[in-house]
Each structure stands twice: as C-alpha cells, then as structure tokens.
Amino acid sequence: MKRIAARLKPRPLPPVSPPASVPSSSLLSEFTKLCHQQDLPRAMKALDDLETHGLRADPAVYSDLLKACLSRRAVPLALRLQSHILSSPHSPHTFLLNMLLSIYVKLRLLPQARSLFDEMPQRNVVSWTTIISAHANVPELSHNALHFLVSMLCHGVTPNMFTYSSVLRACGCVSHLVQLHSSIYKHGLESDVFVRSALIDAYSKWGLPQEALCVFDEMPTGDLVVWNSVISAFAQNSNGHEALHLFKRMKRAGFDPEQSSLTSVLSACTSLALLELGRQAHVHVFKYHQDLILNNALLDMYCKCGGVEDANTIFTRMADKDVVSWSTMIAGLAQNGYSREALKLFDSMKDSSTQPNYITLLGVLFACSHAGLVEDGWCHFRSMKKLYGIEPGREHYAKDSRPEILIINSMFI
C-alpha cells in the first residue's frame, strides 16, 4: 500500500522561467530595418514597441521615416512621429523637427506647421526660414513673413540668403522694401545672387525698374539669374527698349539666353510691335523647340505684331497646347481679320477637350463682332455660364471699334 501511495504522490513541478524579454538591440534593429524599407504600417507598430520599452532610435533612422511620410502624404503618421520626438526625455534634435516643419509646409498644413514651430525648444536659421517662406507663399498671410523676420532677429538668429529671398517676395510696401535692403547690407548679403535677384524682382513688382537696375549695376560680376531678373523688371514695367538693351548687354557679356530672358525679350518685342526683332529672338528659341511657355510667348508676339502666318506655323507644330495657346491664337486670328478662321479654331479647341476660359470667350466674341455674326455671338455668350461656368465680365460687353456693332449689346437688339 505504501508503495502505491508513493507512486501516486504528486511530484513537484519544474520551476517556471519568466518570459524572456526582447533584447533592446533587436527592437532597434527591427525598427531601423523597417524605416529603411519605408514600410510605414510595420514601422509605426515597431515604434509602439520602442515606446513600451522606453527606447529611442538614432535620429538618422527617424529621418528615413519622415521622408516616407512626406512621399506618401501620411499626415497622421507624421503627427504621431512629432509626438514621439517631442516626448523624448532629452532635447529633441532640431534637424528632425525642421524636417517635420518642412513636411507640413510642403503639404500646405500651415496650422500644424505653426503649432510645431511654437513648440520647438530650439530654433535655428532653417526653422525660421521655413516658417517665413511658408507665410510668404500664401498671399493673405504674407504680411506675417516680415513679423517673423523681426522676431528672428530679436532672438539673435542671423538670416541667410534664403530667408531674405522669401521675405522680399512677401514685401508689402516700398518702405518695407527699403528697410529690407538696408538689413541685407547690414548682414553682408548684398552680393549674393539669390538676394540680388529677389531684390530686383521686388523693386520691379513695385514699379521701380531704375532701382532694380541700380542693384544690378552694383554687382562686380554678372550672373545669368540676375540678368534674367533685371531684363524681366523692365519688360514687366513697359520699358521694352531698356529690356532689349540689357538683353544685348547680356549677350556681349558672354551669357547664353535661356527661357526666362527670352520670354522677357519676346514680351518687349510685343509691346514695341517690333516684328523683325522678334524674329531674331525666335532664332534663340529653336533649342527650346517644345517649350510651352516660350511657344506661347512666340504666338503672342507674332499675333500682336501682325505675323499671324508665322504664329499659325508655330501653333500647328506645337506638340503640346494649353488654354493659353488656343486663346492666343483665336484672339490673334480675330484681331488680324481672320474672324471665321478664329471661330473654326474655337471648334477645334472644343474637339481637343481643352476647356475655354475667360480670355478665350473674349476672343470668340470679338471674332463674331468683326464677322457680323450676331446670332452666333449671342449663342456663344449664353454658353459662357451654361457650358463653361464663366461669368461674363465688363470686357465681354465692351464696345467694338466700329460704332454700329457692339460685341454683346447688339445681340440684344
């Protein structure tokens, strides 16, 4: 009996070991691998594991994850990363927060960018320049760019060329522009190409091309970007002669014209109705054979200078046409006495599935007026709102050069 009892006596269970903890190196290695692979869902799960164990990865690893957030527009994940980075017991790396700031700006999330900027424990010139540029690019908020610059200076952070280039874009009045110009000299950035170009553009914007030329002439050596800016300054301010003079100076200085300078020169030729000079400029455009902006500028120049056949040749050869191309050619034909051809081209435009705009319909109504096609003009006028969602403007009711015909008013008779 004793032997049976001994056999039935329960044996002690082997000791149970506690569950093995996952090595920190393994968690960090897995997180790093997933970040490099830009596997966002699994990387974020691995991030949760890191937080559970109180771990932090190398800053370079987070940068890979932030790049993936930007490329995939993963805003919720970017916000999640922001919380993780800011919750670090150590001071977070400013370059990571700058990356986040840039992501919000590029995704046009200005409230999130401003909130992050306000939370940043440390801000450097990149941080300030990013938030300044973000506000400068939004017309209704551009006035804040100058306020940020003042605050930046008060915090003892020195602006760089990109800071001033952004603020100059947002400059709201001439007095501010003069103050900015003085500040640029104070910080020794007056010779920087980007700053000079932005200064020239700013003076041009406020109708001060001579001041723009003074900025240009102070340069010891030329630069193509600055040449383009100063030529554009005069072309945009209806001083075609000076724009063409500067273009010749640029060529003599050994600079080959590019898209920007050629567009300005064509604009100058258009304003001065210099067809032959426009044809000479056309020679430089050949290497930009299929550049849409230049082709549209050529169309405009030839149409307004009376070279409608040249314009038609360019238009026919254009591989890509946008609404500007079609509208320019339609208006050019109508203004040069080819009204019926203009209306046929409008039909071709509709067949191409290009949506007409305000300017297109203005050219169409002009063509109807000159061809005496009152009923057709009335039909096109009614279609503006009904088919294209375009509200007729003052120009669509304007009086034609011939007193007996009104573009629209005659259609009500």
Taking a C-beta distance cutoff of 8 angstroms, is the pair 333, 317 a contact? no
| Digit-coded pLDDT (tens) for 335-350 | 999 999 999 999 999 9
Taking a C-beta distance cutoff of 8 angstroms, is the pair 222, 255 a contact? yes
Domain spanning 26-120: which CATH class is it, in words? mainly alpha
Q: Which two tokens stand for residue 396?
A: 């669509």
Q: Which residue type occupies 241? A: H
Q: Which two tokens stand for residue 191?
A: 């010779």
| Digit-coded pLDDT (tens) for 360-404 | 999 999 999 888 888 888 888 888 888 888 887 777 665 444 433
Tens digit of each residue's pLDDT, the chain (413 residues): 445 444 444 445 444 444 444 567 787 888 778 777 777 888 888 888 887 887 777 777 888 888 888 988 989 988 988 988 888 767 778 999 999 999 999 999 999 999 999 999 999 999 999 999 999 999 899 999 999 999 999 999 999 999 999 999 999 899 999 999 999 999 999 889 999 999 999 999 999 999 999 999 887 767 888 999 999 999 999 899 999 999 999 999 999 999 999 999 999 999 999 999 999 999 988 888 789 999 999 999 999 999 999 999 999 999 999 999 999 999 999 999 999 999 999 999 999 999 999 999 999 999 998 888 888 888 888 888 888 888 877 776 654 444 334 454 544 44
pTM, two decimals, is 0.73
DSSP 399: B
| Digit-coded pLDDT (tens) for 306-327 | 999 999 999 999 999 999 999 9
